[in-house]
Structure 1
Amino acid sequence: MYGRWLLRMLQWAVWLVLRLLLACRYRVRLVGLDEVLRKPGPYLILPNHPAYADPPNLIAHLWPAFRMRPVLLDSIFRHPLLAPFRWIFRGISIPDFQRPTPADRERIEAAKAEIIASLQRGESVILWPSGRLSRDGREWIGGARLAAEVLAAVPQVTVVLVRTRGLWGSMFSWANGQPRLFAAILKAFLLWLANLFVLAPRRKVTVTLEAFLPEERPEPVRERLNPWLQAWYNADVEREEPTFVPYHFLFGPRTHTFPAPVSSPSFDWDAIRPPTRVLVAQVVEEKLKRPLTEAENQPQTTFLELGIDSLDVAEITLKVERITGHSSGGLPGTLGELWAIAEGLQEQPPPPPAPPPWFTPIVDDTRLSILGETIAEAFLHQAFQRRREVIVADDRAGVLTYERLLVGASALSARFRLLPEQRVGLLLPASVGCDLAILGLYLAGKVPVLLNWTTGPAALGHAVRLTGLRQVVTSRLFLERVSVEIPGIEWLYLEDIRASISRYELWARLLAVRLLPQWYHRRLHMSLPPQSLDPEQTAVILFTSGSEKAPKAVPLTHRNILSDQRACLEALQLHRRHSALGFLPMFHSFGFTITGLLPLFVAVRIVHHPDPTDATALVRKIATYRPSIIATTPTFLSFLLDRAKPGDLESLQLIIVGAEKCPLHLFDRVRHLAPNAQLLEGYGVTECSPVVSVNRPGRVRPGTIGEPLPGISVRIVDPETHELLPPQHRGLLLVAGPIVFPGYLGDDTASPFLYQDGKRWYNTGDLAEQTDDGFLIFHGRLKRFLKVGGEMISLPALEEPFSKRFPPTPDGPRAAVEGIETPEGRRIVLFTTEPLTLQEANAILQEEGFRGLYRLDEVRRLDKLPVLGTGKTDYKVLRRCLEAEIPQTARISL
């Protein structure tokens, strides 16, 4: 009782201060309050939302009459400046959807339950039904659902509609463009101060209220309630004209010209491909549960007009992102903006500027070398040698020195050391957090198992069973984003682990690194278990993309990885003044060995970006951090060049591409947009740690995958007889050397090795030839998969869900998937005897957990699928059918 009385006194005190402060700038006139109070409570108060300034003004003038609980956006009121007001007035937090995640649904459901419970207890609640600021002087409710769902649960409440006029045009409204709330608050305070508070010109505001009993309003379904609300809010004027009030009673302008109302971002809608429009329409129609009309399926159509609220838009956007692999900077407002997201064209806000320490000059340019024979040793030697030097950065963590990296990794290792299993899974994007986690696992003596979240649940489940995983390190935020589920796995969230690390522990570790580096180095080294000091022990387990029915587990030893890194250093002639942009995820073998660990071992700065498909953000990050090296695939490089403007890529000196054949036209585009860079094509496979060959700086031969790395042997043999072939002959590529892995995990895989001339050779399964002077020319793969954007798309994996649903009959198979690479991109087609649409077929794949690049481009219905004499599908016929559609000129260039 005493606590409740104290809170009430605090509420009155804060209300009084708020009322006095706002009275210095706003002259508010209430209309209809007495009539409203004649009707019984509790009251659900539903105002329009012209500006950020209307909630505090409404609370200041209505709270004494209603004592209502406000529903407040969590993203705004968790700020330290405003959080106390939420607590004092018992605000109900509700999430916004700038970055939609599945957790938002749970949070909004919890907020709705709290609103309903408050009304059922007889308390009044104020809720802004539109959920967003007015953009053009009108109130749009559209498909917002919250008000209708609350009223459906508590129909007995009295609804009080509130219409505020006079705030449209203030610095807290969209009348001059998107307002920046906290900057506007600071500006308003300084203006009040300059006006000596009491002399500030007043803005005249009219607040009109009207109450409606249950029988006086539409039934609580959004299709009827929302148009009624919208009509009432806009009843007096179709669009409110902005009002300007001088900022100072003596100085400054007396008039102001407002810009035209904001409109949707401008895109070249003709550049949106028809398949993208079809995909977006299918996803939207699935949510609407009806087809879009021709008039609706237009770029300017808003989701409000379609009756789709922000929560539904969040789900639609997330689904489109998962299917296409592109990400958004926030929620789209129109179909056209969703097209742009699906096409990867949405305008993103610029990245924050690179922190000044990133550009700290390099004081020495010693020859790059890897110290130590295992991963933990290589990191510790370099980190203690260069403790105070900047080494890694990303947008969330900022810039970290080796010192901070050591502190974080050692703190994590103390937690990882307690895990019972030797193998621990890791599921994180390229980031400082991923670097810290993997270094922490190595310092704890664990073997990371790197999981590919894009391969679908079946492949992930196979990976977990094959390696015996029980725990997987991830981030809660990232897991919500990718929506991965692995039954039987214990998730270890970095957020929770970090929360368990006290500031005292971090300071103690920092002081040890800074004041007693030699002692602390010895201590960390001595704490490593014997297997972490043996170069022949397994260092990591990666996975192939599953060219057969399940991905193969590839264990790489410390010697494999460090040998490949040392060979790359020699071949690429890197130096310490280089810096790199790393965006390939760790589950990608190149992302693990080269853009993940190698920079940390040789003190080459690297900035991370978590989304390798976000070409616009990557270009901006290059322009901001000015790295000199990037490593990517030709497909993603093409995306970068599409988004780049002259000058964006001028810092680049080396662009390394691999994982798929590099088109010759990319060399010309690089010369134009990255004039200081050399484009180096290379070749690698996971089983070879992964780099086998690469073109050298100053020795580039377009159309080849370069020369083998130093210390690596290759040979070309006949695919059937395995006899050695002379130069200029196409055959099977074999690789030998310290980079070659020891063999696959599991007993159900055939040996990939051949033994010739006293050496063990790895059979890559790829076709190549070698020139007289040692350059390798890649000619394609024998296995049935496509490489798209560096990702190996398994055609059998895409086919399996259809084979299960439509098993063969005595008449033959009923479904088969084949694909080819064309000048315009990949073309993956489902051939089937069943009446399936493309939407239905891709829905089947999505139900199986496939996303991103794992989708069909076309469905073709045949009366009968071609078969071999054995009764199996004749894929050569299907492939020829697709290849015949490529123009002859394009086929020659392939």
Structure 2
Amino acid sequence: MPARPEPTGPRPVFGRVPDDPAALAHVPDVPLDGLLRRAAAAVPDRTALHTPEGQVTYAALDAAVDGGAAVLARAAGGRGAVVGVVSSLTASFAIAYYGAVRAGLVVAIINPFLREDALAHALTSASVSVLVAPPEVAARVERIRDRLPGPVAVLPPGEVTRPGPAPGGPAPDPGAVVCLQFTSGTTGDPKTVRLTHRNLVVNAAQIAAVHRLDSTSVTLNHLPLFHPMHLNSAVWAGATQVPVPDPDPAAAIEAANRHRASHFYSLPVRLAHLAADPRLPGLRLRTVGTVFSGGSALLPAPARKLADHFGIPVVQGYGLAETSPLTHCQRPSRPVPGSVGAVVPGTECRVVDIDTRAPLPAGRPGEVQVRGPQVMHGYLGSADPAVDADGWFSTGDVGYEDAAGNLFLTDRLKDVFKYENWVVSPTEIEQVLIGHPAVRDCAVVDHPDPYRGAVAHAFVVLAADTEGAARPAPADIAAHVARRLPYYQHLKYIDAVDDIPRSPNGKILRRVLRDRIGGSAQPPSPAPSLGGPQ
């Protein structure tokens, strides 16, 4: 893939979308790979991707996708087959992703960190017949072949980067399913989400609007995998993407400065570690205008610390696999601490009572529902409708809106539990726990109790300087929580652990922690009773 040199002089601005619902009326109704065709025609010499392997322009990327489409069409054997693409932070992911679409195939996004059981589940549930995978994932496939319902041809990423003409065929219906993505699986086996061309194209424009992306933007992705959200929105805008596979935050900041990045994308867990990094005082972001966080909740304290240090907004967004994914985002010009912001253009949100399903006024917590053109076509293998009769999708998240429409999330519906008749939010307890100087990371789950229904059980990772003799007693940490929360949110059990199990995007795997409670050979460490009705 030879990269042409960038022309000198001012570039034409392409891809800019106003943050206005009316702007979506002008989004073209094109297939997903049409985003790349459009950018290659408008800004052919603009660098599309700058990876450790080199850089490639939009024109060169579009030509490479033609060749990748031909390879995948031959391997899959027919239009409509499912091609799995491992979402590594490489140019080959973008080529295989758009190449599968251009070949008239359905693309399934495969997490590179899946172990054998989860990988078998993903390949089986999506009926993957061809998988584009690096050697380490290909080796896992070989170990599970006898558990797969049919043959899976595994192609190395280099196989899909060969030049060649794109296969012919009719243009797809923009309303047809083109992409399969998987839910996080934090409470059970992941579900397979069916997304259409239109879902993904519209959401790319929505993201470009609220993130202020256009062809002058340079986006640095300090993420463990290549998420289609970042790929599609940058391609919509004709922006340059700089994936940084190195998990070290200092390396990511150096790369942002070297490439003159305008946008810095990361995960809450990485940003929290950056805020606590002793090297932070010596780090500066010279060209980045906004740091964007998503995937799970970013606590206000590290967000505030990083915003104050770098002198730029650190904002949070919200979405789900079922919504392509983005539905909400704080606006960089007016961030609202603790919230995930207001809806993206063309999207509606409401909060309903968990039991009665009646809409609730501002300030009242309940289940969050959304409605918009990015909501999925449904779950694979499920006859249940994706939305209710009025088009509302129930997210399973609990939160409330303020009077201005900013959404504040408090928990997953499956994570909250009842102590007697009180609803307990694990997230609220975690936000207090992380404020203790000895706690570096934490998670709270429900611990079954025969008298109260369930009580709070905390797992904490202690800061390094509290090891050995300086390690605090569980009573000290429990007392810190008890002084700040009502009795029904007090900790009844505390376990010190080496790490908190999380998904690749930083979400706490509470089911793993609940399994530890149920299968532990030793009883957990009880925290003392600290007031309130017993």
SS at match of 1:470: strand
Distance 1:564 1:400, change over 3 A: same
**Which amino acid in structure 1 is aligned with residue 131 of structure 2?**
V
**Structure 1 residue 400: Cα displacement:** 0.9
SS at match of 2:388: strand
**Which amino acid in structure 2 is aligned with residue 409 of structure 1?**
V
SS at match of 1:463: helix
| Residue of structure 1 equivalent to 2:270 | 636
SS at match of 1:724: coil
| Residue of structure 1 equivalent to 2:129 | 470
**Which amino acid in structure 2 is aligned with residue 364 of structure 1?**
P
Q: 2:130 matched to 1:494?
A: no
Q: 2:87 matched to 1:428?
A: yes
| Residues in 2 aligned to 1:362 and 1:795: alpha-carbon distance in whole angstroms | 53
Distance 1:546 1:360, change over 3 A: farther
**Structure 1 residue 655: Cα displacement:** 1.2
| Residue of structure 1 equivalent to 2:286 | 650
SS at match of 2:44: coil
| Residue of structure 1 equivalent to 2:314 | 679
Matching residue within 563, 566, 571 for 2:202: 563
Matching residue within 177, 184, 189 for 1:538: 177
Matching residue within 402, 426, 444 for 2:103: 444
| Residue of structure 1 equivalent to 2:348 | 713
**Structure 1 residue 382: Cα displacement:** 1.6
**Which amino acid in structure 2 is aligned with residue 665 of structure 1?**
A
| Residue of structure 2 equivalent to 1:550 | 189
**Which amino acid in structure 1 is aligned with residue 77 of structure 2?**
P
Q: What aligned pairs does 1:381-392 form with structure 2 within 5 A after superposition? A: 381-392=38-49
| Residues in 1 aligned to 2:266 and 2:458: alpha-carbon distance in whole angstroms | 21
**Structure 1 residue 385: Cα displacement:** 2.5
| Residue of structure 2 equivalent to 1:401 | 57
| Residues in 1 aligned to 2:520 and 2:315: alpha-carbon distance in whole angstroms | 47
Distance 1:824 1:621, change over 3 A: farther
**Structure 1 residue 865: Cα displacement:** 10
Offset from partner CA, 1:614-641 (integer Å, 9 cap, x none): 4343233223222110222221122344
Q: Is contact 1:586-1:596 (8 Å) kept?
A: no
**Structure 1 residue 678: Cα displacement:** 1.6
SS at match of 1:442: helix
Matching residue within 393, 413, 420 for 1:782: 413
Q: What aligned pairs does 1:864-875 form with structure 2 within 5 A after superposition? A: none
**Which amino acid in structure 2 is aligned with residue 655 of structure 1?**
V
Higher relative CO (Cα under 8 Å, sequence separation at least 6) belongs to 2
Matching residue within 241, 248, 251 for 1:606: 241
Q: Is contact 1:652-1:674 (8 Å) kept?
A: no
| Residue of structure 2 equivalent to 1:457 | 116
Unaligned runs of 5+ in 1: 1-354, 510-522, 800-811, 828-836, 846-850, 867-877, 889-894
Q: 2:72 matched to 1:416?
A: yes
RMSD of equivalent CA atoms: 4.3
**Structure 1 residue 684: Cα displacement:** 0.9
Q: Is contact 2:35-2:232 (8 Å) kept?
A: no
| Residues in 2 aligned to 1:571 and 1:863: alpha-carbon distance in whole angstroms | 46
**Structure 1 residue 859: Cα displacement:** 6.6
Q: What aligned pairs does 1:85-124 form with structure 2 within 5 A after superposition? A: none
| Residues in 2 aligned to 1:746 and 1:484: alpha-carbon distance in whole angstroms | 26
SS at match of 1:734: strand
**Which amino acid in structure 2 is aligned with residue 782 of structure 1?**
L
Q: What aligned pairs does 1:868-887 form with structure 2 within 5 A after superposition? A: none
| Residue of structure 1 equivalent to 2:255 | 621
Distance 1:477 1:548, change over 3 A: closer
Q: Is contact 1:547-1:795 (8 Å) kept?
A: no
Q: Which has the higher strand share?
A: 2
Distance 1:497 1:742, change over 3 A: closer
**Structure 1 residue 356: Cα displacement:** 12
Distance 1:739 1:496, change over 3 A: closer
SS at match of 1:375: coil
| Residue of structure 2 equivalent to 1:201 | none
SS at match of 2:128: coil
**Structure 1 residue 495: Cα displacement:** 3.1
SS at match of 1:600: helix
Distance 1:745 1:401, change over 3 A: same
| Residues in 2 aligned to 1:648 and 1:615: alpha-carbon distance in whole angstroms | 11
| Residues in 2 aligned to 1:471 and 1:776: alpha-carbon distance in whole angstroms | 40
| Residue of structure 1 equivalent to 2:436 | none
Matching residue within 28, 36, 39 for 1:379: 36
SS at match of 1:536: coil
**Structure 1 residue 585: Cα displacement:** 5.5
Q: 2:316 matched to 1:660?
A: no
Q: Is contact 1:734-1:761 (8 Å) kept?
A: yes
Q: 2:206 matched to 1:575?
A: no
| Residues in 1 aligned to 2:57 and 2:514: alpha-carbon distance in whole angstroms | 46
SS at match of 1:393: strand
Distance 1:710 1:414, change over 3 A: same
Distance 1:361 1:586, change over 3 A: farther
| Residues in 2 aligned to 1:781 and 1:495: alpha-carbon distance in whole angstroms | 40
| Residues in 1 aligned to 2:103 and 2:520: alpha-carbon distance in whole angstroms | 59
| Residue of structure 2 equivalent to 1:764 | 395
| Residues in 2 aligned to 1:821 and 1:864: alpha-carbon distance in whole angstroms | 16
| Residues in 2 aligned to 1:688 and 1:410: alpha-carbon distance in whole angstroms | 28
Which one is further off, 455-464 or 406-415?
455-464
Q: Identical aligned pairs, as a percentage? A: 22
SS at match of 1:417: helix
Q: Is contact 2:324-2:376 (8 Å) kept?
A: yes
Q: What aligned pairs does 1:88-237 form with structure 2 within 5 A after superposition? A: none
Offset from partner CA, 1:856-893 (integer Å, 9 cap, x none): 79977999999xxxxxxxxxxx8xx88x58999xxxxx
Offset from partner CA, 1:645-689 (integer Å, 9 cap, x none): 5453222111111222222222332234322x2212221111111
**Structure 1 residue 392: Cα displacement:** 1.1
Distance 1:743 1:863, change over 3 A: closer
Q: TM-score, normalised by structure 2?
A: 0.72
Q: TM-score, normalised by structure 1?
A: 0.45
| Residues in 2 aligned to 1:539 and 1:584: alpha-carbon distance in whole angstroms | 24
Distance 1:731 1:463, change over 3 A: same
**Which amino acid in structure 2 is aligned with residue 363 of structure 1?**
R
Q: Is contact 1:544-1:552 (8 Å) kept?
A: yes
Q: Which has the higher helix share?
A: 1
| Residues in 2 aligned to 1:864 and 1:357: alpha-carbon distance in whole angstroms | 63
**Which amino acid in structure 1 is aligned with residue 299 of structure 2?**
P
Distance 1:794 1:688, change over 3 A: farther
**Which amino acid in structure 2 is aligned with residue 495 of structure 1?**
G
**Structure 1 residue 497: Cα displacement:** 4.9
| Residues in 1 aligned to 2:444 and 2:193: alpha-carbon distance in whole angstroms | 21
Distance 1:886 1:554, change over 3 A: farther
| Residue of structure 2 equivalent to 1:118 | none
**Structure 1 residue 540: Cα displacement:** 0.7
**Which amino acid in structure 2 is aligned with residue 556 of structure 1?**
L
| Residues in 1 aligned to 2:260 and 2:397: alpha-carbon distance in whole angstroms | 36
Matching residue within 363, 367, 387 for 1:753: 387
**Structure 1 residue 457: Cα displacement:** 2.2
| Residues in 1 aligned to 2:170 and 2:444: alpha-carbon distance in whole angstroms | 42
Aligned residues: 445
Q: Is contact 2:386-2:393 (8 Å) kept?
A: yes
| Residues in 2 aligned to 1:622 and 1:824: alpha-carbon distance in whole angstroms | 31
Distance 1:782 1:537, change over 3 A: same
Matching residue within 165, 168, 175 for 1:527: 168
Offset from partner CA, 1:414-438 (integer Å, 9 cap, x none): 1111122511111131221211221
Q: 2:16 matched to 1:368?
A: yes
| Residues in 2 aligned to 1:886 and 1:555: alpha-carbon distance in whole angstroms | 48
Q: Is contact 1:585-1:592 (8 Å) kept?
A: no
| Residue of structure 2 equivalent to 1:238 | none
